[in-house]
């Protein structure tokens, strides 16, 4: 593998959700350890699944992997990191401040910004704290899906610039600690932008959408000084999958996507990794990942055929339509097809004569790309652009609060609004607008991958608690969180693949939502090989592996839709609309 040659100390595995970053990062860690290196494997994804791959609980502490001596792992848990961060700040103040003032400090540290800063601090320490992490020859970062990762990698520079300019930020703790933050963030920037210390591993699938996003990711990371790197095209359908019509069509589609790879990333060193017939779980599977896929023996003639009870996506659309309006949130792990399902649902509703807003909270999503430039009457497509949201938020605050201030106070307000903390607040405001719009029409939201969406819901919870604290429980105001909790207003659709990790992560997401008082409404199993009725032994084995996961989904959910794997990528109005056709087959 070219991307493992002459390695620097830090490796960042990044790319669109669902392309296999975790599998590639874990397999790389195992290979390096077995070559005699000491390795720390770190997940910066708020919805990490490192523990699932190795079959043990990891969490927010460095954990040795018993099955791979020399390998340790760490999952940066945003909530655990935030609790520890708050205690580091509040602990020394106990007994020195009155209770009311201490409560004020605690409240200032209760929002989503503190959660982000806490995770970010752990991340920067991994890059800069040699006293704690110097024993490792390599530190491998399995990052969150693209948008969340770009935000994380931009933060060292953003905070460094803000503090150097004299900005104040209560979420960073007492002012006496700001000099330390300046030094740490500056060192983190140096580590990230030094090719001798850090290598980007750009992981993708052989799909047009993944490759286009990868080029965009590379361009944005290059702007902050991260250049070079390698491309890993993961999950390429091998010759061992046979020549049946479905396999031949998918293989031709992948070859065309690779041939048309955007020039900027096509110039980088490249590795191709074959799709495996089984899930990549466990050390033995990780060892096999970088080897060419081998042929699969035909199943025993006595083995039962894979048969699924039909569960068309159109049935869910029918149920959504009955209310005449409302909010539909498509949620789940990155790469499971949330954008595709959200667009298909929105198109179907619009074609039936309803006014529909289709939007996204994913910083890396481009709905217009999924629609391939197509338009439909009564359908409005938008995107919650973080940069635009921040600009609008700053302008709004200055316009409403600035006029009553003197020049000095107005300058201080403008400086405070430059804090990176305001980015999440601004996106939350736009998210709230979309929720409000669903009182009058259909609003379908393609959400960011799980971890980023949970942080957004945390912002909704923080806002709800603050409103209740300030105004009491007897008020008539309805907060965004209350609308999300209202089953008559909001339908949460969990999208997954029929694989162990996506299903388990969707199950955990459902539990997180229930703790927030939000009940999932339906599940969609997307791109199912089993539902496509494959013929080759290779694809039939993948289909058999799916059945157990689909059965699990049916146990968890009252409403389920199953969308088959398609010979053609579901891009454009015609193909997206076809996803809601009950007669859809794989060759469609």
pLDDT digits (tens, 9 = 90+) for 477-497: 566 777 888 888 899 999 999
Residue 40, domain member (yes or no): yes
Number of Cβ within a 10 Å radius of residue 394: 17
Q: What is the 3-state secondary structure (H, E, C) of 177-192?
A: HHHHHHHHHHHHHHHH
386 and 284 within one domain: no
Beta partners for residue 522, in sequence order: 493
Distance CA 311, CA 523 (A): 11
Its sign, for the CA torsion 81, 83, 86, 88, is negative
One domain for residues 231 and 165: yes
pLDDT in tens, 116-172: 566 667 777 888 888 888 899 999 988 764 444 444 445 445 544 544 555 444 444
Residues 58 and 21 in one domain: yes
Top-ranked range on mean pLDDT: pick from 322-336, 354-368, 411-425: 322-336
Same domain, 126 and 274: yes
Do 52 and 180 belong to one domain? Answer: yes
Whether residues 433 and 524 fall in one domain: yes
Task: Say whether both 251 and 390 belong to one domain.
Answer: no
3-state SS class at 338: helix
Domain extent for 383: 313-578
- 585 inside domain: no
pLDDT bucket at 363, cuts 50 / 70 / 90? low
* Claim to verify: residue 344 and residue 435 sit in the same structural domain: yes
Q: Pick the most confident of 439-448, 468-477, 486-495.
A: 486-495
Which of helix, strand or coil describes residue 470? helix
- Same domain, yes or no, for 320 and 232? no
Residues 136 and 26 in one domain: yes
**Residue 206 pLDDT more than 90?**
yes
Residue 294 lies in a domain: no
Q: Are 388 and 474 members of one domain?
A: yes
Rounded-to-integer distance, Cα 162 and Cα 165, Å: 5
Mean pLDDT of the chain: 79
90 has pLDDT over 60: yes
Instruction: Round to whole Å and give the CA distance between 452 and 456.
Output: 6
Cβ 230 vs Cβ 268: under 8 Å? yes
Q: 299: which DSSP letter?
A: P
Q: Which residues are catalytic?
A: 18, 20-23, 45, 501
Claim to verify: residue 272 and residue 355 sit in the same structural domain:
no
Residue 584 located in a structural domain: no
CATH code where residue 373 lies:
3.40.50.300
Query: Does residue 146 lie in a domain region?
Result: yes
SS3 335: coil
Distance CA 36, CA 70 (A): 8
- For residue 308, being part of any structural domain is answered with no
CB-count burial class (<10 Å; 0-12, 13-18, 19+) for 390: buried
Residue 306 lies in a domain: no
Number of domains in the chain: 2
301 is a domain residue: no
């Amino acid at each position: 593998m070219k991307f493992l040659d002459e390695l620097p100390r830090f490796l960042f595995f990044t790319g669109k959700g669902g392309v296999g970053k975790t599998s590639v990062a874990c397999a790389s860690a195992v290979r390096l350890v077995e070559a005699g290196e000491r390795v720390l494997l770190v997940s910066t994804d708020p919805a990490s699944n490192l523990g699932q791959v190795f079959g043990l609980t990891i969490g927010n502490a460095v954990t040795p992997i018993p099955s791979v001596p020399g390998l340790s792992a760490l999952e940066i848990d945003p909530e655990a990191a935030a609790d520890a961060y708050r205690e580091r700040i509040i602990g020394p103040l106990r007994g020195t401040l009155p209770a009311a003032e201490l409560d004020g400090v605690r409240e200032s540290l209760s929002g989503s910004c503190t959660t982000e800063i806490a995770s970010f601090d752990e991340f920067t320490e991994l890059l800069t704290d040699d006293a704690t992490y110097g024993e490792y020859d390599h530190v491998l970062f399995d990052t969150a899906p693209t948008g969340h990762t770009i935000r994380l990698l931009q933060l060292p520079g953003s905070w460094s610039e803000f503090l150097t300019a004299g900005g104040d930020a209560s979420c960073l703790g007492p002012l006496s600690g700001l000099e330390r933050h300046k030094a740490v963030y500056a060192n983190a920037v140096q580590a990230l932008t030094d090719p001798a210390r850090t290598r980007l591993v750009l992981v993708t699938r052989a799909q047009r959408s993944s490759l286009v996003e990868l080029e965009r990711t590379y361009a944005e990371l290059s702007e902050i000084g991260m250049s070079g790197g390698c491309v890993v095209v993961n999950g390429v359908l091998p010759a061992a999958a046979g020549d049946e019509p479905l396999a031949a069509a998918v293989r031709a589609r992948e070859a065309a996507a690779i041939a048309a790879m955007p020039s900027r990333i096509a110039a980088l060193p490249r590795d191709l990794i074959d799709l495996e017939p089984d899930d990549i779980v466990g050390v033995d599977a990780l060892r096999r990942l970088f080897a060419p896929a081998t042929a699969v023996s035909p199943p025993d003639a006595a083995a039962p055929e894979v048969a699924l009870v039909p569960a068309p996506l159109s049935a869910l659309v029918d149920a959504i339509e009955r209310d005449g309006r409302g909010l539909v949130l498509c949620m789940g792990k990155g790469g499971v097809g949330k954008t595709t399902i959200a667009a298909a649902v929105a198109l179907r509703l619009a074609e039936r004569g309803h006014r529909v807003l289709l939007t996204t909270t994913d910083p890396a999503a481009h709905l217009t790309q999924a629609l391939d430039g197509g338009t439909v009457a009564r359908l409005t497509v938008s995107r919650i652009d973080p940069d635009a949201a921040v600009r609008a938020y700053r302008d709004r605050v200055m316009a409403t609060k600035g006029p009553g201030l003197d020049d000095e106070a107005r300058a201080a307000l403008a400086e405070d609004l430059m804090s990176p903390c305001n980015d999440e607040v601004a996106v939350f405001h736009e998210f709230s607008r979309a929720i409000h719009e669903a009182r009058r029409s259909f609003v379908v939201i393609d959400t960011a991958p799980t971890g980023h969406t949970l942080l957004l819901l945390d912002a909704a919870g923080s806002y709800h608690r603050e409103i209740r604290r300030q105004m009491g429980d007897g008020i008539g105001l309805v907060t965004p969180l209350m609308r999300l909790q209202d089953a008559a207003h909001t339908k949460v659709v969990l999208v997954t693949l029929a694989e162990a990790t996506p299903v388990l992560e969707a199950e955990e997401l459902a539990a997180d939502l229930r703790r927030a008082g939000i009940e999932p409404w339906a599940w969609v199993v997307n791109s199912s090989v089993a539902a496509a009725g494959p013929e080759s032994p290779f694809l039939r084995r993948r289909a058999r592996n799916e059945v157990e996961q689909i059965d699990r989904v049916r146990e968890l959910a009252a409403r389920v839709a199953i969308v088959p794997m398609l010979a053609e990528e579901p891009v454009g109005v015609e193909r997206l609309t076809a996803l809601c056709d009950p007669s859809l087959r794989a060759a469609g």
